[in-house]
Structure 1
Amino acid sequence: MTKVFSIYLLLLISTMNNSYSQSDTINIPDLQKVKKGMSLRGYAFPDTITFFNKVKDIFGIDLRKNTAPLVKLDSSPEPSPTLWAVRNSCLLIHQEELPLIYPSYNEKNQLEDLPFEKWDTSNFQHLVALNKLLISADASQLKPVDHYYPELLTSLLQDFGYTGNPAITKMKIEAISDMEDGRQTFLQYCYGWLAGQNVLGVRTNVLEAMLKYNPDVFIHTGWAIRELKLTNTPARPIAQLLDAAIRAGITGFTEELCTTDKKLMNEIRKNNAYGMEALQAYMKNSCPR
């Protein structure tokens, strides 16, 4: 197993039971300044139901079950990229802008508010772009968000397997190289924690997006399967990758396994290829018992 993928799995496992953290403190006056600044720049805040549903859709975190005013939306122990939900304000805020609403105190332990005229108001536009793209699905904000928070859009696929925003999904998947340097990205996008379920598995929604936007990346299927077999991954996820590769017109990896790993292929056959029609048909016609 490669060192990079080993570290990746360890990070995933270490966060299985701790998908987010929370804080009970927000500087309300400064939060109001942020909201005012965003409103003046054309952002219309969503209603609570819309915001909660979108957060659950993207991150698998149900804000209805978490009453903390500030909720961390992250599946990784790394400090960046990290988003937070300001629950009662229906606002997403990036780690970099968190100091805008986090309380600071003077030497007398008194809460200090930063005078509005001293704020770097460019932060407002960053937050407008972020919330418009993720909450309102405004594709015109794709380039600004990618510029302000270059690691964030990758994190949405790699850490959460989120494909609900076509503009983000298309850009990130089209960027996967079909050369050797695209292997890790391919595997980390299509295999990982299933959002909100706390289980590892193949993200079938990501496979479908790859078939749509960049089917050539399935050239990495053989390498990905070898990596997964080293971690004793069960047969079904491997079958899912093979089925997608066949649908992408790449059958060589299935053909190879029919010869080199009959035990695996017989397990898949015993389960009728788990109902995957392309793999089922290929094995019936081209994979001897």
Structure 2
Amino acid sequence: MSDSNTSDFINPSTFILLGISGLEAAHVWISIPFCTMYATALLGNCTILFIVKKEPSLHEPMYYFLCMLAVTDLVLSTSFVPKTLSIFWFNSREISFSGCLTQMYFINCFAAMESGILVAMAFDRYVAICHPLRHSTILTYCMVAKITLAVVLRGSLIVLPYPILARQWPYCRTNIIPHTYCKHITVVSLSCADFSISSDYGAPVTFFVTILDIFLISVSYILIFWAIFKLRTKDARLKVFGTCGAHLLSILAFYIPDLFSSLMYRFGSFVPLPVLILNSNMHLLASPVLHPIIYGVRTKQIRDRLLLLFTHKRT
């Protein structure tokens, strides 16, 4: 193993994931919250999918987008948590070169898709509140399918250069990755070539995904709040605003950890490496764990169906 780590090679057959460097002795203990959060994400998102499928009254655009969000969260968390747990539990640190690039692609692809889905849900709320009489004619099944296709294609294509470019670089320094998963910038920084194209490509991705999506969501909610404030009674305002509560919390659950993670890496020289790695993992796990909890608590139709499900089981 040591020979493969130090010898000159262009495309290593495997990379070595170190886990959380400096906290190897505590890996088993650290795995407990990781495993708990992953189990919560699996159970919560599968429950959302089950409830929407079984309840005919939930077969409408808002809940179709919610199902898309649940599927995205399931794939996003599954793309890195099982490997992370295998490192913590079994010291299984090897990952193939192709497997590493595949993991890198899936993480970035489904994170981009999730951002797009939140935009689609904001558009749904805008139409439902600002044009309620036209909601069913604007957001038809065909329109929902087109929006879904656009979200999937954008997420799939915009991050495709990440693994393609990463495959081109010669890795002649080391194949050791000081992380729990194949984070894009961490992998390409192991190259002994000029990988500035890879790092520079992150700027347009950030613009066309994060910045553009936040702008579109902001515009939607400015129009929504304007429509809400024009309502005559306070009760009507609170009732309409309540329909946006779950989506607003979902936005915060996704973008705030993302912003915090970006700031941490920007000032990474002042932050210990274990903290950076833990933050990077929590950033990816936050939304898959929080989204089903938010919608389970804040959405009356899902909450009622959950209560009915548990009541039938007891009887």
In the superposition, the TM-score normalised over structure 2's length comes to 0.24
In the superposition, the TM-score normalised over structure 1's length comes to 0.25
More strand by share: 1
Higher relative contact order (CA 8 A, sep 6+): 2
